[in-house]
A and B are shown apart, each in its own frame.
Chain A
Amino acid sequence: MPLTINGTERTFDGDPRTTLLDYLRRDCNLTGTKKGCDHGQCGACTVLINGQRINSCLTLAVMHDGDAITTIEGLGDPQNMHPLQAAFVRHDGYQCGYCTPGQICSAKAMLDEAALGWPSFVTPDITGEVRLTRDEIAERMSGNLCRCGAYSNIVDAIVEIMEAQR
Chain B
Amino acid sequence: MPDRSNNCSELSRRDVLKATGGTLAGGAMVGQASANSRAEVNVGFDGPRGREAAKKAADSIEREFNFDAMTITASEKAIDGLENNPNIRYVEANGEMQALEQRLPWGVDRVDADVLHDNGQTGSGADIAIIDTGIDDDHPDLEANVGEGKAYVDCSGSNCNYPWSDDDNHGTHCAGIAGAVDNSEGVVGVSTEATLHAVKVLDGNGSGSFSDVAAGIEYTADQGWDVASLSLGASSGSSTVKDACRYADDRGVLLVAAAGNDGSCSDCVGYPAAYSTVIAVSSTDSDDSLSSFSSTGPEVELAAPGGSIESTVIGGYETYSGTSMACPHVSGAGAQLMANGYTNTEARQRLKETAEDIGLADDEQGSGLLDAEAAVLDGGDTDTAPTVSWANPTDGKTVSGTVTVQLDASDNEDSDDSLDVTYSVDGGSARSTTYNAETGYYEDSWDSTAVSDGDHTLDASATDSAGNTSTSSITVTTDNTESAPAVDSLSASEVETDDGDAEFDVDWSVSDSDGDLDSVDLTLTDDTAGETEETAAVSVSGDTASDTTRLVAAGDDGSGNDYTVEAIGTDSAGNTGSDSTTVSETEDTNSAPTASIDGLDDRSNPRWDRIEVDWSASDPDGNLDTVIVEMLDAGGSTVDSVTTGVSGSSASGVDEVRTKSNGSEIVVTATDTDGESGTDSQSI
Pairing of A with B? no
Question: Residues of A with Cβ closer than 8 Å to B?
Answer: none
Question: Residues of B with Cβ closer than 8 Å to A?
Answer: none
